[in-house]
Structure 1
């Protein structure tokens, strides 16, 4: 029964995400990419200007001067779940650029013990199988400079694929749009609208296998989950500025406002929308070594006595850049409600100019 409970708990958690919901659909697409950005608590919407802009704000792709490749890996929940990302961007001309990226967030080798006991009631460990649950996000990006000096825009088309073993799978599609503007004094502003089309995921569920699993404990999980889930739009607004000291030292300061159109535990929340700020900085030396920090995920956390405490998530990161190769590290949470374990995140970025 313990093995049945494990598999039922796992599948109940996974199938819960397949129900029509406005809060937690496709949340893996909100975790973030690039250790440099994560080290600054994701406060990069206004100044992102490399291959990772395809995720943070596609308008930033216009700053690419050569082809770039980015890779990232991180593990969450004590290495149970793995998050991997690869991105590629290239300029088309001096006014436009394109990019493509792929995200995979998955849990592999989950034990399926539903067939552990045969029809005669005998336990046979050879009947144990394994399966994986994985979420994939494939994004195509396009960016272009507008006639107004300093103003750029970009769009994303996203394909979402979610798989839970051979029990269930879904397809989804969505659109993002972003703009960036830099004034003559060096201040940068950005706006990223995620899922502006409202992203829909349509699920296909194997009813026979689901009933077989749900029947392991009589009276529980008898109803199939809904077959459609919805991801409502979100907004991210950002501003930043970079200062140079004595030619060799730089300080980048950035702030973001993350807006969700729902009521939750964010520090500013109404029945219409909630707002969560994020602050980040990056200290650089000769464009070679970087030290980063940030705070975000401000939450009003309710205590046992019904009082509320303000909690937040600090992040930390370092980076090293030499010619066209940049390696970054971040010590960060998955971005949930301050309850997840902190993780080590590594990313690599290669500018193809290093080969020329």
Structure 2
């Protein structure tokens, strides 16, 4: 059973959330995975060009481009042969004004059926497999987005957007956390150029953890020399994402979109192209070829890091490595089907994943104010 291989995870999960309140470099990392196969296929370079419901994740300012439709976006992906599951849902709701749009987004990343082996060994030393129970470790994110057009001319649009997000994390019945935060973004469209800026966790997102153990569980943890946490608060520092994109027409029926993003973090030195203390910068580049707004071919690279070259176990020389991704998309009337082949983890776990997403537009009539 795949879940049985994860029986050692419980102590690790508890240690990960047991410290006192502090900034964590990779806090709420599930919120940085991405949303929609289009964006993942383009190497997560999206803040400048995103114009559909996934903008609620990438850049809330882009939601205002969904003006006349109720749009639904769905995505499912799996890690490590299905052990970890990642799901995404967005519903975009235009208002009575063409200059304002609302969005609701839900994300879930979870490892289910983890084996709890705390009571595997009886007091007399015998092994009782009937004492094994399963639990889930799940992270949930809920985003309420608002987007508004500030300026609209024949050649230039200026949009803004904000996210209010609620985070819930749970490790079975042992530990639960609630968190809150705010994001804000700007998107400028001028002729063939696109520019975007997003500030995530602007107010310093936090998770407040609470733990609940029975006396028997506390005893088992103590005998295994594990710390027994009581309460803790985990803080996520702000980050800034800058992006620029340009559309290159190719004849009358097709075009090429190129975008570059720069993910700027302020929580200390990271293994990125620009690595400093406290500022580090991680670039991302994506391309999308569009034929008649029906067929789309995508590619991208991100996650540039210094690591060991493949097969180099002698010299231990570090070289620049990166994470590529590819994808395709097809539009069929009001439906859009997208696919991406990418690595949702990192360079230390170079396992690529098939990602599928679906976008549905439901047309409706609306009165203009």
Superposition deviation, residue 4 in structure 1:
11
Taking structure 1 as the reference length, the TM-score comes to 0.92
CA contact (8 A) 1:4 1:113 kept: no
CA contact (8 A) 2:37 2:327 kept: yes
Superposition deviation, residue 230 in structure 1:
0.8
Superposition deviation, residue 148 in structure 1:
6.3
Q: 1:131 is matched with which residue: 114, 135, 151?
A: 135
SS at match of 2:120: coil
Residue matched to 1:285: 291
CA contact (8 A) 1:333 1:343 kept: yes
| C-alpha RMSD over aligned residues | 2.3
SS at match of 1:352: strand
CA contact (8 A) 2:177 2:210 kept: yes
Structure 1's 333 and 51: CA in aligned 2 closer, same or farther, altered over 3 A?
A: same
Q: Which runs of 5+ in 1 are unaligned?
A: none
Q: Which runs of 5+ in 2 are unaligned?
A: none
Measured in 1, the distance between the counterparts of 2:221 and 2:168 equals 24
Does 2:108 correspond to 1:104?
Answer: yes
Structure 1's 86 and 213: CA in aligned 2 closer, same or farther, altered over 3 A?
A: farther
Residue matched to 1:162: 169
Does 2:245 correspond to 1:243?
Answer: no
Greater mean deviation of Cα atoms: 142-151 or 92-101 = 142-151
Residue matched to 1:256: 261
Give the number of equivalent residue pairs: 350
CA contact (8 A) 1:77 1:340 kept: no
CA contact (8 A) 1:64 1:97 kept: yes
CA contact (8 A) 2:222 2:228 kept: no
- Residues 94-122 of structure 1: per-residue CA shift (max 9 Å, x gap): 10000001000001011112122334444
- Residues 41-86 of structure 1: per-residue CA shift (max 9 Å, x gap): 0111001111110000000011012110000000012211000010
Residue matched to 2:235: 230
CA contact (8 A) 1:312 1:338 kept: no
Greater mean deviation of Cα atoms: 87-96 or 133-142 = 87-96
- Residues 244-269 of structure 1: per-residue CA shift (max 9 Å, x gap): 22221111111101111121110111
Q: 1:272 is matched with which residue: 265, 269, 278?
A: 278
Does 2:39 correspond to 1:37?
Answer: yes
CA contact (8 A) 2:15 2:227 kept: no
CA contact (8 A) 2:329 2:338 kept: yes
